[in-house]
Amino acid sequence: MASILRTSAPRAIRTTLLSSRRTPALPILQTRLQSHDTRNPPRGNPPIANRPPPDAPREEAGALRNNSKSGSYLGTTKRLPEFNLNDKVVLVTGAARGLGLVQAEALLEAGATVYALDRMPEPSADFYRVQKRAAEELGTTLHYRQIDVRDVPGLNEVVKSISDSQGKLDGLIAAAGIQQETPALEYTAKDANLMFEVNVTGVFMTAQAVAKEMIRWKRGGSIAMIASMSGAVANKGLICPAYNASKAAVMQLARNFASEWGHYGIRVNTISPGYIKTAMVEALFEQYPERKRDWPTQNMLGKLSVPQQYRGAAVFLISDASSFMTAADLRIDGGHSAW
């Protein structure tokens, strides 16, 4: 279950990453899309095409001689260089906060230039911490673009403008989504359509826009879409029929995209998280204390996950470390759905 889970009373929809409000017409939208970077231009370094992984630090030689310090400088020419993303441009939707932002920071640490896309007019306070760290510590850049993935013309415009400005597009993590907890007998068509419009069509159109740019530049690329363990199981005690169906659809979309785009060198996979302990889930536990007690017992590790435990999955799927992996689902649920 992705970290966007929020619920209170039945039928109460929670759009944590995407607004239900329609976006303005394109001329206004194009101006607004650039407002964040115009007012607060991110500092950092642009990517350089075909830049190789960095050499291992000089300290490594001394560390290896006497074993006094760790010598495992990952992502350098000597240590797993296939994990290095120093010349990659990657988009992450739903990255103004939460799981999407955590994954964006991991990509930045691996060297990527990252564009965060989200419906929020301004990203969270933590976003600025990550943006500052990217510029001052990591030697790369974190950008922000405001967009609702249901606005397909605006979405296409944003993706193309990023691609044009960078001269390439290498990766996508589609993490935007919404959640609603309502019994199937009480669901309205309006609520169901909104769920599928955001979680399925929004993911579809985002992947399509990115794939078109990857094909245009003839460089291939990697797309990772956030599904959920709930795409494979019906969660005991959590009534989310439309959400679960939407995540199953994301997994099937990935298989079909992979089969269509593989000959372009584009890989498409999904990440299926289990229950994630976030501030929103903690608030949920106040309303349903039995879930705080029961959920950890429903997996083989006896605990809930945290967003940071999905960092490695993001880097792995976007990087060349997974270069022979496509049409696959990386399920990270503590064994919940294997029981």
Question: Choosing from 88, 144, 168, 247, which is the catalytic residue?
Answer: 247
d(CA 274, CA 332): 6
Q: Give 163's contacts (C-beta < 8 A, 6+ positions apart).
A: 169, 213, 216, 217
Instruction: Verify whether residue 78 is a known catalytic residue.
Output: no
Q: How far is CA 113 from the centre of its chain?
A: 14
How does DSSP assign 167-204, residue by residue?
T---EEEE----B----GGG--HHHHHHHHIIIIIIHH
Instruction: Verify whether residue 247 is a known catalytic residue.
Output: yes
Q: Name the residue among 124, 92, 119 with its Cα closest to residue 23.
A: 119
Q: Is 49 left (phi over 0), alpha (psi -120 to 50) or beta?
A: beta
What's the Cα-to-Cα distance from 64 to each of 57, 76, 255, rounded to whole Å?
12, 15, 43
Phi–psi pair at 146, nearest 5 degrees: -85, 125
Question: Choosing from 243, 275, 277, 310, which is the catalytic residue?
Answer: 243
Instruction: Determine the residue type at 11.
Output: R
SS3 state of residue 93: strand
Q: Where are the alpha helices (DSSP H) in 7-121?
A: 26-33, 35-39, 59-66, 98-109
Tokens representing 193?
A: 């359509």
What is the strand order of the sheet 142-146 is part of?
142-146, 113-118, 89-93, 171-174, 221-226, 266-273, 329-332
Q: Name the residue among 161, 102, 95, 89 with its Cα closest to residue 123.
A: 95
SS3 state of residue 96: coil
Q: Which residues are catalytic?
A: 243, 247
